[in-house]
């Protein structure tokens, strides 16, 4: 693993009892940790495009102490495809997914829609291609591009995270 999710989340404040989301949940590293951090009075929305991956994660966590997780299937590039109310989420984690998204503007709009006023998104992505370790060079979505994208949609940088050699991390806050 190129980034340790536990060390990442230790760098940001996550309040117990809040609603958070893991966009592009995949194997659920962030989903599980977020569930523990928000506790039984909070909610985690584990969002995945691939139904089979989401079902597998739901089955893995069945019977464990993760009753506050809601599993959703959504194409985050389509406006209002995410079945979460407007202004419901206080924190979105989007780890290693910007490089995979074609319509980044629609993605940013959907993030903005679901975040509460002054809500935050943690963006984690590849710094470079690294000769086959990361995505193809033409798919890398640089830190500068991420800054421009989210600033265009009325987000400001709250904090930059130190994630090592392979990845950058930026915690953005929704301005309004």
| Residue range 64-77, pLDDT digits in tens | 788 999 999 998 88
Express each pLDDT in 98-152 by its tens digit. Answer: 999 999 999 999 999 999 999 999 999 998 877 777 777 788 899 999 999 999 9
Please tell me the distance from the alpha carbon of residue 33 to that of residue 146, in angstroms, as a whole number. 24
Mean pLDDT of 38-51: 94
Mean pLDDT for all residues in the chain: 92
Name which residue leads in pLDDT, 140 or 12.
12
- Percent of the chain scored above 90 by pLDDT? 75
H-helix or E-strand containing 83?
A: none
Ranges of each domain in the chain: 5-9+19-131+143-174
Residue 78, pLDDT score: 83
Sheet containing strand 69-73, edge to edge, reads 69-73, 43-48, 19-23, 89-95, 115-126, 167-174, 155-161
142: nearest Cα among 122, 164, 167? 167
What pLDDT band is residue 1 in, cutting at 50, 70 and 90?
low
Mean pLDDT of 9-24: 96
36-50, 57-71, 150-164: segment of lowest average pLDDT: 57-71
Dihedral (Cα; 49, 33, 106, 175), 10-degree rounding = 170
pLDDT surpassing 90 at residue 175: yes
pLDDT surpassing 90 at residue 2: no
Residue 7, pLDDT score: 95
C-alpha angle 83-27-103 in degrees, rounded to nearest 5: 50
Question: Which fold would CATH assign to domain 5-9+19-131+143-174?
Answer: Rossmann fold (3.40.50)
Please tell me the distance from the alpha carbon of residue 71 to that of residue 21, in angstroms, as a whole number. 10
Residue 33, pLDDT score: 96
Mean pLDDT of 149-171: 96
């Amino acid at each position: 693993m190129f980034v340790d999710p536990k060390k990442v989340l230790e760098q940001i404040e996550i309040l117990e009892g809040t609603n958070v989301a893991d966009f592009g949940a995949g194997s659920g590293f962030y989903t599980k940790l977020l569930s523990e951090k928000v506790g039984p009075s909070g909610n985690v929305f584990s969002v995945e495009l691939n139904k089979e991956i989401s079902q597998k994660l739901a089955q893995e966590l069945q019977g464990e102490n993760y009753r506050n997780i809601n599993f959703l299937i959504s194409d985050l590039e389509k406006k209002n495809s995410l079945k979460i109310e407007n202004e419901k989420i206080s924190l979105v984690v989007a780890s290693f997914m910007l490089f995979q998204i074609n319509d980044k503007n629609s993605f940013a709009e959907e993030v903005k829609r679901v975040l509460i006023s002054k809500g935050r998104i943690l963006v984690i992505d590849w710094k470079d291609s690294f000769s086959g370790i990361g995505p193809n060079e033409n798919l890398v979505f640089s830190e500068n591009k991420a800054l421009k994208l989210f600033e265009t949609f009325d987000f400001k940088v709250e904090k930059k995270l130190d994630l090592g050699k392979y990845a950058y991390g930026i915690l953005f806050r929704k301005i309004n």
